[in-house]
Copies of this chain bind each other. A is one copy, B any other.
Amino acid sequence: MARAPLTAGSNNPSSSDSSSSDFGYDLDLDRAVELIRKCGAKRIGLQAPEGLKRSMPAIAKQIAEETGAEVIISGDPCFGACDVDLMLCDEVDLMLHLGHAELGAGPDRVIFLEARMREDLREAVEKAAQILTASKVGVTTTIQHVHKLGQALDVLKMHGIVGLLGLAGERVKYPGQVLGCSYASARALDVEEYLFIGTVEFHPLGIALSTGKRVVIADPVTGEVSEIDTDPMLRRRFGAISRATLAKRFAILVSKKPGQKRMDLARRLMHLGEARGLEMFLVYLDNIEPDRLLNLGAEAAVSTACPRVALDDAAKYRIPILTPPEFEVLLGERRWEEYEFDEIE
C-alpha cells in the first residue's frame, strides 16, 4: 500500500470536517477518509497523544461510519512520532497517527495527521518583539503552530527584525520546527537570539542549551512572553550527576519505541561504565516510569530514550537518572564545561 503524502491541514473555518473541528484543532480527517476508501483498507489503527485522546472515540466512529472499516484505538501512552504503535500496525491495514509529523521516512502504512492549533500568533509575537534585541532572530516552534509561522515573520518584519527559519534535518519535517529531542533546525542558523513560539518550557530550554544563545518565549495560548533561564536546570543536572557518583550499580535504559531506541549508544555507555569498574546492566522497556525501576535494584540509571525522561521527569524517580552526555561527565569522559543537551540523531 502506498504511503499517503502529508498534506497541510485546512485552516478554512467552513471546512466540512465538522467532527474534528469540535476539538479546538484542525485535522485533515477528510483526506484520511478519502485515502482509506481509495486503498480499500478494512482495518484502521488510530493513535494519538494524551492531549487528543478524548476525541479518539468520536474520530473512530466517524471513520467507521464513513468508510465501513473497523477502527482499533491504541490505548497505550503516546509521546510523539518516535512512538508509533508498531504492534497495532501489525493488526491493521492502515494506521492514523494523530498530532505529530513523521520523523524522517516514518514506518510503512502509517499516515501522520498533524493537529493544527487555531491560535493566532500575532499578539504574542508582537509582545515578544518588544524584548528581542537582535536584528536577526531564529524563529522556532512545535508542530501545532508551524503552519502559522508566516504570521510571526510578518510581525517581526514590522518591527524591523528579520525572522529566520532553520532548515529541517533528518528527524524534523518543517523549517523552524523543533522536537524535544532535536534542535537541529535552530542550530542551523547563524543568529544571536531565538524566538520560541509555544506552550512548553522544555523546548526553549533545549534551544538555549544546544545553541548557547538567548531564547525568548511567546506563548500563543496565554499571550505571555518570557525569557528562558537555563541556570536552574543546569544546577539540578549537576546535582543529579553528583548524586550518581555514589552509585556503583547502573541500569542503562533502552526504549522499545522505534524513534527512541538507541541500543548501540547503550552498549557503548555500558562498556565505558564497565571499564571504570561499575556494575552495569541493560534494561529494555517501553514506557519508562518510576515503578519500572523500583525492583531492579539499580542505584542510578542512564536513559538513552527520550531526553525528557531524565531532564523533565527526574523528580518522580528515587534514583538519579542521567542522559548519555551526563554519564560521560560522570565518568570523566567529558568536561562539565562541555555539557550537552541530549538529542537523538
Contact = CB atoms under 8 A, between A and B. Distances in A.
Interface in A252-303: 253-254, 256, 263, 267, 279, 281-286, 288, 292-293, 295-298
A263 B57 contact: no
A247 interface: no
A190 interface: no
B284 A54 contact: no
Interface stretch (A71-79, A153-161, A313-321): A71-79
Contacts of A77: 292
A249 interface: yes
Contacts of A279: 57, 61
Interface of A: 45, 50, 53-54, 56-57, 60-61, 70-77, 85, 87-88, 91, 249, 251, 253-254, 256, 263, 267, 279, 281-286, 288, 292-293, 295-298
A284 B88 CA distance: 7
Contacts of A295: 50, 53-54
Given A75-B253, A292-B77, A57 B297 contact: yes
Contacts of A292: 75-77
Contacts of A60: 281
Contacts of A263: 91
Nearest to A75: B285
A249 to B, nearest CB: 7
Looking at A56, A263, A293, which has the most chain B CB atoms within 10 Å of its CB?
Answer: A56
A50 B85 CA distance: 25
A109 to B, nearest CB: 15
A76 B285 contact: yes
A75 B98 CA distance: 28
A267 B286 CA distance: 27
18 contacts: A54-B297, A57-B249, A70-B282, A72-B254, A72-B283, A73-B251, A73-B281, A73-B284, A73-B296, A74-B283, A75-B251, A75-B288, A75-B296, A77-B292, A87-B284, A87-B286, A88-B284, A286-B286
A73 B283 contact: yes
Contacts of A87: 256, 284, 286
* Nearest 7 Cβ contacts at the A-B interface: A75-B285, A53-B295, A75-B283, A72-B282, A73-B283, A57-B281, A87-B256
Given A53-B296, A71-B281, A87-B284, 14 more contacts: A54-B295, A54-B296, A56-B296, A57-B279, A61-B281, A70-B267, A71-B282, A72-B283, A73-B281, A73-B284, A74-B285, A75-B284, A76-B286, A77-B292
A256 B286 CA distance: 13
Contacts of A283: 72-75
A164 B93 CA distance: 49
Contacts of A70: 267, 282
A256 B57 CA distance: 19
A251 B61 CA distance: 12
